[in-house]
Structure 1
Amino acid sequence: MSAKTVLHNFVAGEAVAPAEGRYEDLIDPSTGEVFASAPVSGPEDVDRAMQAAATAFEDWRATTPSDRQRALLKFADAIEARADELVSLESQNTGKPLGLTASEELPPAIDQIRFFAGAARLLEGRSAGQYMNGFESYVRREPIGVCAQVTPWNYPLLMAVWKIAPALAAGNAVVLKPSDTTPVTTVKLAEIAAEFFPAGVFNVVLGDRGTGRALVEHRTPQMVSITGSVRAGMEVAGSAAADLKRTHLELGGKAPVVVFDDADVAAAAASIAEAGYFNAGQDCTAATRVLVQAGVYDEFVAALAEQAKGIRTGAPDDEDVLYGPVNNAGQLARVAGFIDRLPDHAVLQAGGARVGERGYFWSPTVVSGLQQTDEIIQNEVFGPVITVQKFTGEDEALAYANGVEYALASSVWTKDHGTAMRMTQKLDFGCVWVNCHIPLVAEMPHGGFKHSGHGKDLSVYGLEDYTRIKHVMHNVGA
Structure 2
Amino acid sequence: MVKMLIDGALVDTARHMDVIDPSDESVVAQVPDAGAAEVDQAVAAAKRAFPAWRDSTAQARGDALAAMARVIADNGDELAALLIQETGRPMALAQFEIAHLAQGYLNYYANLRIEPEILIEDDTRRVELHRKPLGVVAAVVPWNAPVFIACNKIAPALAAGNCIVVKTAPSTPLTTLRLGELIKDVVPAGVVNILSGGNEAGAHLVAHPDVAKVTFTGSTGTGRKIMEAASPTLKRVTLELGGNDAAIVLPDADVKAIAPAIFAFAFFNSGQVCAIIKRLYVHESLYDAMCAEIAAYASGSKLAGGRDPEAQFGPVQNKAQYDKVLDYLAGAKASGTIIAGGELPEGPGYFVPLTVVRDVAEGDVIVDEEPFGPILPIIRYSDVDDVIARANASPYALGGSIWSSDPEAAAKVALRLESGSVWVNQHCALDPAVPFPANKQSGFGVEGGIEGLYPYTALQTLNIAKAAAA
When the two structures are superposed, what TM-score results if normalisation uses the length of structure 2?
A: 0.96
Residue 73 of structure 1 is matched in structure 2 by 66
Asked if structure 1 preserves the Cα contact closer than 8 Å seen for 2:245 and 2:400, the reply is: yes
Which residue type is aligned with residue 79 of structure 2? L
Residue 349 of structure 1 is matched in structure 2 by 339
SS at match of 1:342: helix
The number of residue pairs the alignment matches comes to 468
Question: Deviations 1:258-304 (Å, cap 9, x if unpaired)?
Answer: 01121111122211111111211000012121000011111111111
Residue 464 of structure 1 is matched in structure 2 by 454
Q: Which stretches in structure 1 are left out of the alignment for 5+ residues? A: 1-5
Question: Deviations 1:214-271 (Å, cap 9, x if unpaired)?
Answer: 0011100110000000011111011111210000000011110101121111122211
Residue 212 of structure 2 is matched in structure 1 by 222
Residue pairs, 1:231-246, within 5 angstroms: 231-246=221-236
Residue 414 of structure 2 is matched in structure 1 by 424
C-alpha displacement at 1:126, in angstroms? 2.5
Asked if structure 1 preserves the Cα contact closer than 8 Å seen for 2:341 and 2:353, the reply is: yes
Supply the distance in 2 between the matched residues of 1:366 and 1:65 (Cα, whole angstroms).
49
Residue 76 of structure 2 is matched in structure 1 by 83
SS at match of 1:355: coil
Question: Deviations 1:433-477 (Å, cap 9, x if unpaired)?
Answer: 111122211110113101110111121111111111111122333
Asked if structure 2 preserves the Cα contact closer than 8 Å seen for 1:257 and 1:289, the reply is: yes
Supply the distance in 2 between the matched residues of 1:244 and 1:74 (Cα, whole angstroms).
34
Kindly indicate whether residue 8 of structure 2 is the aligned counterpart of residue 8 of structure 1.
Answer: no
Question: Deviations 1:132-190 (Å, cap 9, x if unpaired)?
Answer: x6333212211111001100000011111111011011110001101000011111222
Distance 1:344 1:228, change over 3 A: closer
Distance 1:211 1:60, change over 3 A: same
Asked if structure 2 preserves the Cα contact closer than 8 Å seen for 1:443 and 1:458, the reply is: yes
Residue pairs, 1:199-278, within 5 angstroms: 199-278=189-268
Residue pairs, 1:52-451, within 5 angstroms: 52-103=45-96, 105-119=98-112, 121=113, 123-127=114-118, 129-130=120-121, 134-342=124-332, 344-417=334-407, 419-451=409-441
Residue 23 of structure 2 is matched in structure 1 by 30
Which residue type is aligned with residue 258 of structure 1? I
Supply the distance in 1 between the matched residues of 2:257 and 2:97 (Cα, whole angstroms).
21
Supply the distance in 1 between the matched residues of 2:97 and 2:138 (Cα, whole angstroms).
27
Asked if structure 2 preserves the Cα contact closer than 8 Å seen for 1:89 and 1:184, the reply is: yes
Range moving further from structure 2, 222-231 or 35-44: 35-44
Residue 44 of structure 2 is matched in structure 1 by 51
SS at match of 2:30: strand
Supply the distance in 2 between the matched residues of 1:108 and 1:230 (Cα, whole angstroms).
24
Supply the distance in 2 between the matched residues of 1:283 and 1:420 (Cα, whole angstroms).
24
Supply the distance in 2 between the matched residues of 1:366 and 1:437 (Cα, whole angstroms).
18
SS at match of 1:61: helix
Supply the distance in 2 between the matched residues of 1:342 and 1:146 (Cα, whole angstroms).
44
Identity in percent: 35
Asked if structure 1 preserves the Cα contact closer than 8 Å seen for 2:2 and 2:178, the reply is: no
Asked if structure 2 preserves the Cα contact closer than 8 Å seen for 1:174 and 1:203, the reply is: yes
Question: Deviations 1:190-213 (Å, cap 9, x if unpaired)?
Answer: 222222210000001211122111
Asked if structure 2 preserves the Cα contact closer than 8 Å seen for 1:76 and 1:113, the reply is: yes
CA RMSD for the aligned pairs?
Answer: 1.6
Asked if structure 2 preserves the Cα contact closer than 8 Å seen for 1:13 and 1:191, the reply is: no
Supply the distance in 2 between the matched residues of 1:187 and 1:344 (Cα, whole angstroms).
42
SS at match of 1:44: helix
Supply the distance in 2 between the matched residues of 1:449 and 1:181 (Cα, whole angstroms).
28
Asked if structure 2 preserves the Cα contact closer than 8 Å seen for 1:312 and 1:364, the reply is: no
Distance 1:341 1:201, change over 3 A: same
Distance 1:34 1:417, change over 3 A: closer
Asked if structure 1 preserves the Cα contact closer than 8 Å seen for 2:119 and 2:129, the reply is: yes
Which residue type is aligned with residue 120 of structure 2? G
Question: Deviations 1:55-108 (Å, cap 9, x if unpaired)?
Answer: 001100001111111111111111111111111111111111113321454222
SS at match of 1:182: coil
SS at match of 2:285: helix
C-alpha displacement at 1:343, in angstroms? 6.6
